[in-house]
Chains A and B, each alone.
Chain A
């Protein structure tokens, strides 16, 4: 206890201060009265008579401003009613009077440790103030919207319920007004404003329906008077447990009955699938092996062909590497061009024909070369054949049959259509009594040149040979 006069601690239960001698009798009575009011306020707060508790606690603090318990409780009640600033004020003052071991510090920390919550509470206050301005200006709709938001931010804001109920009442919305007031009554059961507004609603004769509703609502409220039922001790409900166990067993059985076959089917199908997959893979492998073997055979055959072609290629003399191949043709051409400059009877074509006859045209790759060769032989060979025939005929006429035969054969070689040369070859053999060869050439004349002037003679001589 602190002496109110000298502010020093007084030990024991003394009636006066040890330091200044101040009589403490009255002071002690004041403190006792403060505590009594505090107890009264606490009792009211416990039954949610917050308004009554506030009155008692304020009395307590009027008697002893340093009654921190009373001040802390007053702060709690303010906080419960949505009066955040008032609550914080009381707790701060309480802490001022008792800095150590004070519940106020815990309350302040609890509020300040959650800035989001604190901001929400402050927003609620600001919106309430805005709503109040709107309501005073007659903007009931805006005020209603703001107040609904206030209540969602701080559902314990008693003033907001009162103002919202008042606005509803003004707009003859009794139902909503009553709901607001009932919510407010849940926070503070003895609030004079709440009770006044509720009475106002009930007193109106036009609210017959609403009163019925309110009575229904009242009936729905938890009543303190409950019917007393006969006492019966709770027994453990065995049947519920048994039913639970049976239900679990049935559930498991059904699950096994339904699931196991499908699981087995899945396993079998998976195995079958594996077998099918394995077979398919095996077949694919065999196909691959077959294809590989086939390709290897083809490769071997192609290799053989390649080797053969390579050998053939190696054996072929490239024309470019054999320039002499075309030399006789060029030589013959050149000579023939020279002979063409001479008179026809002076031309010496036998040498050119001999050159052309030595040419192997099978090695010619150029089409132009072949054409040149063909052209030269067509022009030169018949002329040379005729010239040789004339020479051979002269030798035959001179009785030089063997020499004639040699020249006539050359004539025949240069022109196989020279029927005169063939006829005198036969005649030469005939003169030489080589009847076999004579017969051959007579038959050529008879068979191949039946329309020639030598036909009849050849036939007669052939017959003469046959008769001999």
Chain B
């Protein structure tokens, strides 16, 4: 049985066009290569 109150809390506001810049800058662009490089750096 779905609880409306719980379910509605899962809905988040959709970013508007004016917020696109923030969305792009806040995007986590780290991939596995970046992680590996960091790991290699830490190992060295």
Known A4-B33, A4-B37, A196-B2: A118·B17 in contact at CB below 8 Å: yes
Q: Which residue of chain B lies nearest to A131 when distances are taken between CB atoms in the complex?
A: B11
The reply to whether A85 and B16 contact each other, CB–CB distance below 8 Å, is: yes
The reply to whether B33 and A86 contact each other, CB–CB distance below 8 Å, is: no
* A69-B13 Cα distance, complex, nearest whole Å: 28
Interface SS of chain A: helix
Interface SS of chain B: helix
The reply to whether A132 and B19 contact each other, CB–CB distance below 8 Å, is: no
Nearest Cβ distance between residue B29 and chain A, in whole angstroms? 5
Within 8 A of A (CB), among B1-44: 1-2, 4, 7-8, 11, 13-20, 23-24, 27, 29-34, 36-37
The reply to whether A92 and B24 contact each other, CB–CB distance below 8 Å, is: yes
* A154-B34 Cα distance, complex, nearest whole Å: 38
The reply to whether B14 and A83 contact each other, CB–CB distance below 8 Å, is: yes
Nearest Cβ distance between residue B41 and chain A, in whole angstroms? 10
The reply to whether B8 and A85 contact each other, CB–CB distance below 8 Å, is: no
Binds B, one of A162-170, A262-270, A440-448: A162-170
Selected contact of B16 from candidates A30, A125, A136, A170, CB within 8 Å: A125
* A238-B33 Cα distance, complex, nearest whole Å: 68
Interface size class of A (residues with CB under 8 A): 35 or more
The reply to whether A122 and B1 contact each other, CB–CB distance below 8 Å, is: no
Selected contact of A122 from candidates B17, B27, B32, CB within 8 Å: B17
The reply to whether A65 and B31 contact each other, CB–CB distance below 8 Å, is: yes
A26 at the interface (CB under 8 A from B): yes
The reply to whether B1 and A85 contact each other, CB–CB distance below 8 Å, is: no
Q: Which residue of chain B lies nearest to A63 when distances are taken between CB atoms in the complex?
A: B32
* A64-B8 Cα distance, complex, nearest whole Å: 34
A79 at the interface (CB under 8 A from B): no
* A61-B32 Cα distance, complex, nearest whole Å: 9
Q: Which residue of chain A lies nearest to B5 when distances are taken between CB atoms in the complex?
A: A136
Q: Which residue of chain A lies nearest to B13 when distances are taken between CB atoms in the complex?
A: A129
The reply to whether B31 and A125 contact each other, CB–CB distance below 8 Å, is: no
Selected contact of B4 from candidates A4, A118, A159, A166, CB within 8 Å: A166
Query: Can you identify 10 A-B contacts, CB atoms within 8 angstroms?
Result: A26-B36, A85-B14, A85-B23, A88-B20, A89-B27, A92-B24, A128-B13, A135-B8, A163-B11, A170-B4
* Known pairs A85-B17, A93-B27 / 4 extra A-B pairs, C-beta < 8 Å: A63-B31, A65-B30, A85-B19, A122-B17
